[in-house]
Amino acid sequence: MSHSVQAMQPITSHDGDCEALQADRVAVLLVGYGEVQSYRDLSRYNQAATKYIAAQFVPIPEWLYPLAGWLLTLQDLYDFGIKHDHFMSPENEIFEKQRLGIETLLQNQWEKRAQVFKGFYFCKPFVQDVVTDIIQQGFQSLLIYPLLVVDSAFTSKIAVEQVNEVIATTTQSELRSSPFRSIRYIPGFATEPTYIDLLVRQMQERLHQPSVKQFFASQIGIVLTVHGGPAKANGLLTGVIDGQALYDRVQAQLQQKYPLVSIGWINHDMPFTQWSQPDLKQAAKNLIKAGAQTILFKPLGWATENFETILDVEDAIKALQRQYPTVTYTRLDCVNDDPDFLKIAAEWANPQIEAMLSVPQKERAQTNEA
């Protein structure tokens, strides 16, 4: 797909005012995987996933991307269409609610000087297309904000890579300069205290419900699920490091009262690749063997519900029920569009927006008061 910036027009005084106004705005770009809303789009989705993710830890020649995407599509058609009765993920819908909520909060403070966009790595609206639109709308400040998974060192790198692809095609050859005056990036939030406290609070609220309180605290097993990853990925640090850091901090606040807490990696096993352990089912089995009578699965490594947090967990529960039928199992939700999460997500963006705007917040407040 060809990306281009509209030709520059002569600037009148009115155009100059408009240009100054446009330049003094920040485009906040929420990015995530996205999930297709039609099975016909699965092949393109999987080709992109092969290029940006699988090829990072499995040697795949570029000419094999279409074949790899087609093979993955066959597996997905079985998993989603047959095995799970035409499953459609709620991820995109929830992601839009997050975008709207974060934009509302940011515009309460910055008004129209901050606008929130969304882009997906592997399906529409593609990050590349959204960035092109942001450029054409005259934004000169871009805040890249990966939101779906908490592993900035690996998958969130895709956001920067795809933004750079657009910049490379829109750079003015004479000036050799970026179409953006300023670009900033919000890294993964695995160690953010406000996010950790929110997860712990949500867990504690669930642990105080009657269905769970009927068990002794020592009989309650908690599997904190995190996005699995390969041990090595072409020299990149994978999300395992961020996921482990997040788990350690949540577990530290729970374990004194609830001793049966385990990390549970949701993996996508591939040949010749060593993945993080223990996986989801093994983590639950370990807790059951230690005396757990109920198991709660709480996602940590995703901010938005998707097929991994739903289907992978439900499949694990079905397998565990066959082996341990007397144990009860509960799948808990991601933070999704929880108002508390949207508030702290907006707060993470505020310092970056303030730094990118030409007029400091303090001066702007004084002007408004006058």
- What pTM value is reported for the model? 0.85
Report CA 24 to chain centroid distance, whole Å.
28
**pLDDT band for position 203 (50/70/90)?**
very high
pLDDT at 17 over 60: no
Mean pLDDT of the region 296-324: 95
Q: What is the pLDDT of residue 169?
A: 85
Q: What is the pLDDT of residue 309?
A: 95
**pLDDT band for position 102 (50/70/90)?**
very high
Triad 134, 106, 185: Cα angle to 5°? 55
pLDDT at 20 over 90: no
**pLDDT band for position 236 (50/70/90)?**
low
pLDDT tens-place string over residues 341-367: 999 999 999 999 999 996 444 444 443
Instruction: Spell out a b/e string for 183-212, using b for 16 or more CB atoms within 10 Å of the CB, else e.
Output: bbebbbbbebeebbebbbebbeebbeeeeb
pLDDT tens-place string over residues 44-69: 877 877 777 776 666 777 888 888 88
Q: What is the pLDDT of residue 3?
A: 33
Host H or E run for residue 343: helix 339-356
Can you list the positions of beta strands (E) in 149-266?
A: 182-185, 220-227, 261-266
Which of 311, 339, 358 has the alpha carbon at shortest distance from 113? 358
Lowest mean pLDDT among 52-61, 227-236, 245-254, 258-267: 227-236
Share of the chain above pLDDT 70, in %: 82
Q: What is the pLDDT of residue 196?
A: 96
Tokens of 100: 């709207």
Share of the chain above pLDDT 90, in %: 56
Q: What is the pLDDT of residue 96?
A: 97
pLDDT at 208 over 60: yes
Q: How far from each other are the two terminal CA atoms of the chain, in whole angstroms?
A: 49
- 295 Cβ contact list (under 8 Å, min separation 6): 221, 222, 223, 284, 287, 288, 320, 327, 328, 329, 330
